[in-house]
């Protein structure tokens, strides 16, 4: 992000831990990340890299007495212009921000929607809480939101329960809930993972349109680089709790300078690959190995056991984020040699 643009979300040195029977483990390890108004920043990586824990840390929704923010700051600019550190706020203050200044769309709508309340009531709830609206005007606003997110016959659908809707409609309902109070920041945690490709494209188009109309910032958590190319302005690639590469999407995709990013891009299937590779007897490229256990992290660069560029120096100390250029950084001591 251009340093001259004031971010609405500014994460500095965030470290999030989980307390287990075997001791403390670090799930997010000192990340810096910023999102400006009207900007979409994608947080990318395999499962276990710390993406969702980062988003839950921002919302302060970590499991009580198990997960905790151990260090760092999360500075957030509210609608009233006030900048607060979310890490230091009490729970009561956080409740006034969740659903109002910050909205969140979760990966699986059936686990985030209450099965015993109609979808209209669930969308109307944040309006009643944060806007002190009566039931009737809140429901009118909820029906309008259902219409805005593309659900036909919105008035009838508002009276239905989550199980009566399709997966795509349920996800639209969760988006309507997240946007009910016109937040300045939307956090979307893999909102298209459980959907087929057609519905996924519709949801992405919907999010892009709503963001452009409302001018909100968006933190988009995903493992799908194809989605990143379609929706994001900047991308931050996470691995084992750290950001290993970040920059504008076009820059990072054209000129990846971390072996992990290179591996992710190489493993993306492309149109026509299946036929061509079958005829040539080739296999889809894959990154060898798996993301290391948080309880047993390798010394030095966490990616070194899986990295073809790794040398002895990689196994001594964690690399710093080096500047590739003014807008592009990589956590690799050999970034100059990494080429697509």
Q: Please determine, for residue 272, whether its predicted confidence score (pLDDT) is greater than 70.
A: no
Residue 72 backbone zone (phi > 0: left; psi -120 to 50: alpha; other: beta): left
Give CA 55 to chain center in angstroms: 6
pLDDT at position 137: 95
Helix/strand/coil for 23: strand
High-pLDDT (> 70) share of the chain, % = 94
Return all residues near 153 (Cβ < 8 A) that are at least 6 apart: none
In 315-328, which positions are buried (b, 16+ CB within 10 angstroms) versus exposed (e)?
Answer: eeeebebeebeeeb
Give me the mean pLDDT over the 136-155 stretch.
94
Higher pLDDT, 210 or 285: 210
pLDDT at position 22: 86
Tokens of 160: 């239905």
pLDDT at position 277: 59
pTM for the full predicted model: 0.91
Radius of gyration of the chain (CA): 21
Q: Please determine, for residue 274, whether its predicted confidence score (pLDDT) is greater than 70.
A: no
Tokens of 331: 């956590």
pLDDT at position 105: 92
pLDDT at position 145: 94
- How does pLDDT run across 292-336, given as a tens digit for each residue? 998 899 999 999 999 999 999 999 999 999 999 999 999 999 999
Q: What are phi and psi of 55, to 5 degrees?
A: -65, -40
Q: Please determine, for residue 290, whether its predicted confidence score (pLDDT) is greater than 80.
A: yes
Higher pLDDT, 6 or 246: 246
User: Taking CA 216 as the corner, what is the angle to CA 329 and CA 143, rounded to the nearest 5 degrees?
Assistant: 145
In 227-260, which positions are buried (b, 16+ CB within 10 angstroms) versus exposed (e)?
Answer: bbeebbbbbbbbbbbbbbbbbebebbbebbbbbb
* Domain residue extents for the chain: 258-288+300-337
Tokens of 112: 């985030």
pLDDT at position 271: 58
DSSP 33: E
Q: How far apart are CA 46 and CA 290, in angstroms?
A: 9
pLDDT at position 228: 93
- 66 class by beta-carbon count within 10 Å (0-12 exposed, 13-18 middle, 19+ buried): exposed
Q: Please determine, for residue 1, whether its predicted confidence score (pLDDT) is greater than 90.
A: no
- 261 class by beta-carbon count within 10 Å (0-12 exposed, 13-18 middle, 19+ buried): buried
- pLDDT band at residue 273, thresholds of 50, 70 and 90? low
- How does pLDDT run across 89-128, given as a tens digit for each residue? 999 999 999 999 999 998 888 888 999 999 999 999 999 9
Q: What are phi and psi of 311, to 5 degrees?
A: -130, 175
Q: Please determine, for residue 28, whether its predicted confidence score (pLDDT) is greater than 90.
A: yes
- pLDDT band at residue 275, thresholds of 50, 70 and 90? low
Helix/strand/coil for 4: coil
- pLDDT band at residue 13, thresholds of 50, 70 and 90? very high
pLDDT at position 224: 86
Tokens of 182: 């016109």
Q: What average pLDDT is seen over the chain?
A: 91
């Amino acid at each position: 992000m251009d340093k001259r643009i004031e971010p609405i979300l500014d994460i500095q040195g965030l470290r999030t831990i989980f307390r287990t029977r075997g001791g403390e483990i670090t799930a997010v390890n000192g990340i810096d990340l910023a999102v400006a108004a009207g900007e979409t920043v994608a947080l990318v990586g395999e499962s276990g890299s710390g993406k969702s824990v980062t988003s839950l840390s921002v919302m302060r929704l970590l499991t009580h007495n198990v997960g905790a923010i151990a260090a760092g700051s999360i500075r957030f600019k509210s609608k009233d212009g006030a900048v607060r550190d979310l890490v230091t706020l009490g729970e009561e203050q956080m409740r006034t921000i969740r659903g109002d200044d910050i909205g969140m769309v979760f990966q699986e709508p059936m686990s985030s929607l209450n099965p015993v309340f109609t979808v209209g009531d669930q969308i109307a709830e944040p309006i009643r809480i944060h806007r002190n609206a009566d039931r009737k005007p809140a429901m009118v606003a909820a029906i309008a939101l259902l219409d805005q997110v593309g659900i036909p016959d919105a008035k009838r659908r508002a009276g239905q329960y989550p199980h009566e809707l399709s997966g795509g409609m349920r996800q639209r309902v969760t988006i309507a809930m997240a946007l009910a109070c016109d937040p300045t920041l939307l956090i979307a945690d893999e909102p298209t993972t459980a959907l087929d490709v057609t519905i996924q494209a519709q949801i992405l188009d919907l999010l892009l349109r709503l963001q452009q109309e409302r001018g909100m910032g968006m933190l988009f958590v995903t493992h799908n680089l194809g989605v990143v190319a379609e929706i994001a302005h900047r991308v931050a690639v996470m691995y084992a709790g750290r950001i290993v590469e970040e920059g504008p999407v076009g820059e990072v995709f054209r000129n990846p300078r971390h072996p992990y990013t290179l591996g992710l891009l190489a493993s993306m299937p492309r149109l026509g690959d299946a036929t061509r590779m079958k005829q040539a007897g080739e296999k889809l490229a894959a990154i060898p190995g798996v993301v290391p256990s948080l309880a047993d992290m390798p010394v030095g660069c966490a990616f070194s056991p899986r990295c073809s560029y790794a040398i002895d120096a990689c196994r001594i100390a964690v690399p710093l984020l080096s500047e590739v250029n003014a807008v592009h950084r990589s956590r690799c001591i050999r970034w100059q040699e990494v080429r697509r």
